[in-house]
Amino acid sequence: MFICFRRETMASSSQSGYFSQQEINKLQTTYDQGGLSEFATQIGKKLNDIENAKLNIAVTGETGAGKSTFINAMRGLRGCDEGAAKIGNIETTMERTPYKHPTFPNVCFWDMPGVGSLEFPMNDYVSKMEFTTYDFFIIISQNRFTENDANVAKEIQNLGKKFYFVRSQIDNAFSSSERQGVYFDRMTELDKMKQNISCGLTKAGISKPIIFLISSLSLNEFHFPQLRETLLNNLDKIKKDVLLMSLPNTTVKIVELKRAQLKERIWMLATVSAAVGVLPVPGLTVAVNLGILVAAIIGFRKSLGLDDASLQRLANVTKKPVEFLKAEVRTPLMDEINKEFVTKMLLRPGFAAVSAVEMVLDPIPIIGSIFGAASSFAMISKLLTDVLDDLVENAQRVVTVAFATDPGHPQ
């Protein structure tokens, strides 16, 4: 059983995107030498890296470009909500201002003063705004991108960092034409506008600019979905994880992406549990496993937007009663998650046998170690997989009704 356990954990680590090839080789060496404890320690460090990773995103552009509205949209907030970035038609940002995510504070959007204003001339902007501290940049314009925007992009490019051009308030541009009786295919028009912007930026010296046309008030329309996907794909695995978990659930696809990412954590949590299982200390494995499970379930719930605060923010943005959204959540996992709750879950058929074997063998040296490790791994893996599937199913229902336009759904 221990051999099977070793095979499964190593297979999981080799397929995980969280580890570099060098790290995988080191894990393999450690494992081959029989150092389960040291192997689990390295896995635990990786989990800690994921938990504590920070993501700093700079949002820059000229005054009135829609930076604050974009920052609020990415955090699932409205302009009137507590903690929202200030919105106005005059320069409201006089210094770089951090706006942390309300649920995941390690994700921080930095609202930058308008570039090129009298208060912030271009020659001082890069140093005063501390460009080296950000993971990537969003350069926003309401209409045309200017020479200042291009100069900022060149400075970012010199630092070897990613940047993206975002034309905001595209919905206003379209609705204005439609009110005047000018009708057109939106996707065709988007392509034309993007091509024109690309040509202008290329002439300004930006090679292959990455451009998105969005409305920060319509998170599933225009190029907003492509923008989210691009941001995620251009981050390393851990920072991709951090950004993904912070995204508001606006589509079923986002929920599925979160499921895939969270599923990768399960084998790591199970490995840490199994390492405790090899210690012949009565009751230690059970106590530690309960703590691991409680923290993991609460974390999964937050990541999938099923905590009370996230549901309220979603209700605010979609203008649906929060009670209506909560009615779609049909799982006992919304109750208080504590060690007593998890213990009851483990006593269900399918888990009781594994737990019983572990408790019986815990006091027995050597044999208890071998079976304890394997049973801990299996128990944690099975329970967390079941929990994740349950929460994902509920999150998908919530998203579906939240963004439904059916007249049968209350507004």
Q: Each residue of 132-155: pLDDT tens digit?
A: 999 999 999 998 899 989 999 999
pLDDT score recorded for residue 63:
79
Q: Are 31 and 39 in contact (CB under 8 A)?
A: yes
Q: Last residue of a domain, which of 215, 246, 277?
A: 246
Whether residues 233 and 368 share a domain: the answer is: no
12 inside domain: no
Query: Residue 271 — very low, low, confident or very high, per pLDDT cuts 50/70/90?
Result: confident
Whether residues 253 and 235 share a domain: the answer is: no
Whether residues 168 and 115 share a domain: the answer is: yes
| 19 or 122, greater pLDDT | 19
Q: Last residue of a domain, which of 182, 216, 246?
A: 246
Whether residues 98 and 196 share a domain: the answer is: yes
CATH number at residue 210: 3.40.50.300
97-100 and 107-111 strand pairing: antiparallel
215 inside domain: yes
Q: Are 119 and 133 in contact (CB under 8 A)?
A: no
Q: Each residue of 154-168: pLDDT tens digit?
A: 999 999 999 999 999
44 inside domain: no
Q: What is the DSSP annotation of 196-245? A: HHHHHHHHTT-SS--EEE--TT-TTSTTHHHHHHHHHHTS-HHHHHHHHH
Whether residues 115 and 263 share a domain: the answer is: no
Mean pLDDT of 316-345: 95
Kindly tell me if the per-residue pLDDT of 356 is higher than 70: no
Kindly tell me if the per-residue pLDDT of 365 is higher than 50: no
Sequence-ordered list of residues with C-beta below 8 angstroms from that of 181, at least 6 positions apart, any chain: none
Q: Last residue of a domain, which of 246, 263, 282?
A: 246
Which residues are bridge partners to 19 per DSSP? none
411 inside domain: no
pLDDT score recorded for residue 6:
52
Q: Are 209 and 195 in contact (CB under 8 A)?
A: no
Whether residues 305 and 159 share a domain: the answer is: no
Name the token pair of 78: 């409205």
The Cα 326–Cα 211 span in angstroms is 37
20 inside domain: no
pLDDT score recorded for residue 20:
81
Kindly tell me if the per-residue pLDDT of 207 is higher than 90: yes
236 inside domain: yes
Whether residues 218 and 272 share a domain: the answer is: no
Whether residues 259 and 141 share a domain: the answer is: no
pLDDT score recorded for residue 70:
97
Q: Each residue of 228-254: pLDDT tens digit?
A: 999 999 999 999 999 999 999 999 999
Enclosing domain of residue 177: 54-246
Whether residues 227 and 92 share a domain: the answer is: yes
Whether residues 201 and 254 share a domain: the answer is: no
5 inside domain: no
Kindly tell me if the per-residue pLDDT of 313 is higher than 90: yes
Whether residues 182 and 287 share a domain: the answer is: no
45 inside domain: no
Whether residues 65 and 120 share a domain: the answer is: yes
User: How many folded domains does the chain comprise?
Assistant: 2
H runs (alpha helix) in 304-366:
308-318, 322-326, 339-346, 352-361
pLDDT score recorded for residue 297:
97
